[in-house]
Amino acid sequence: MLRTNAVKLAAALALSLTGAGFAHADTLQVGANIGNVPWEFQDESGNVVGFEVDLVNEVASRLGHEVEITNIPFNGLFSAVQSGRIDIAISSITITNDRLQSVAFAQPYYDSDQSLTVATGGPQTVEEMKGKIVGVDTGSTGDVWVTENAERYGFGEIRRYEGLQLAMLDLTAGRIEGYISDIPSLLYYVKDKPNLEVVARIKSDENYSMMFAKGSELVTQANDAITELKKDGTLAELHEKWFGAAPEEGTSTATVLPIPAAQ
């Protein structure tokens, strides 16, 4: 069975951490880029929901804590964790060696690639984006990929956004001609939108996890909880709830893995 905790969407980052260690606080402060479907977003009633919202609540519950979620632009999550303003960051954050130099991650729980999304009838390949305006989320792995490959594919302009919703508005209105971001988010977003389509998978072999400050005792605690969730089938339950199918064997959603280490 899935356990749930009350999730509060804080209006600002006015958070204070007291005591000998923040991992012992009654409420864990979690930063998330709200609007990142299906990971963390607001439903029609204004509640914060999503795969990672359920997951972080389940982890916190097993550690004896509640959760308070603060909306933070994706690029701000890194400094918020490093400064101790939040205990955990979620938002389909890819584990990379560069990031492991300054932050820590628990074991991964989702495998992904990048993708190209367009208005229906638009460019069908990355190559067809030559000379055209492409949108990305600021500081994301999609942003990194597009920046590194801008000359190769001849993108006309790169426009950066703070979240999926604004980018999709511009894509629908024709202000950008393609959007490059995580494929599961876009497949979920466009499934009931016939005016938009995901036309290309861009192989990037990414793994998502929760992000922490280096040296945080929460890393090991959360990692152990994620191991339990994989072993007892709760994580598979969450995957089926949000993606409509059980996780494939051998993926990081199904397989217990070690805590990532910097190389």
The reply to whether 77 and 165 lie within a common domain is no
Distance of CA 28 to the CA centre of its chain: 18
The predicted pLDDT at position 3 comes to 41
The predicted pLDDT at position 202 comes to 96
Distance CA 217, CA 21 (A): 8
The reply to whether 87 and 35 lie within a common domain is yes
Q: Could you list the mean pLDDT of each consecutive 10-residue stretch along the chain, which spans 263 residues?
A: 43 36 71 94 96 98 97 96 98 96 98 96 97 96 96 98 93 98 91 93 95 97 98 97 90 97 93
The reply to whether 150 and 196 lie within a common domain is yes
How many domains are contained in the chain?
2
In a domain, 262, yes or no: no
The reply to whether 39 and 168 lie within a common domain is no
In a domain, 198, yes or no: yes
The reply to whether 101 and 16 lie within a common domain is yes
The reply to whether 12 and 99 lie within a common domain is yes
Q: Give the helix/strand (H/E) hosting 190.
A: helix 183-190
Distance CA 89, CA 78 (A): 8
The reply to whether 105 and 12 lie within a common domain is yes
In a domain, 139, yes or no: yes
Tell me the residue range of the domain where 88 lies: 7-109+209-243
Label residue 216 exposed, middle or buried (CB < 10 Å: 0-12, 13-18, 19+).
buried
The reply to whether 103 and 216 lie within a common domain is yes
**How is residue 197 written in tokens?**
């389509």
In a domain, 90, yes or no: yes
Q: Are 141 and 204 a contacting pair, CB within 8 Å?
A: yes
3-state DSSP: the chain helix, strand, coil percent, rounded to 5?
Answer: 35, 25, 40
The predicted pLDDT at position 25 comes to 56
In a domain, 261, yes or no: no
**Strand pairing class (48-49; 41-42):** antiparallel
The reply to whether 120 and 185 lie within a common domain is yes
Please identify which residue in the block is written with the tokens 């959760």.
Answer: 67
- Which CATH number fits the domain that encloses residue 198? 3.40.190.10
Distance CA 260, CA 96 (A): 9
Total Cβ atoms within 10 A of residue 12:
7
User: How many Cα atoms within 13 Å fall on the side-chain side of residue 70?
Assistant: 21
The predicted pLDDT at position 20 comes to 33
pLDDT tens digits, one per residue of 178-210: 999 999 989 989 988 999 999 999 999 999 999
The predicted pLDDT at position 257 comes to 98
The predicted pLDDT at position 160 comes to 97
The reply to whether 159 and 214 lie within a common domain is no
In a domain, 2, yes or no: no
The predicted pLDDT at position 32 comes to 98
In a domain, 168, yes or no: yes
Average pLDDT along the chain: 91
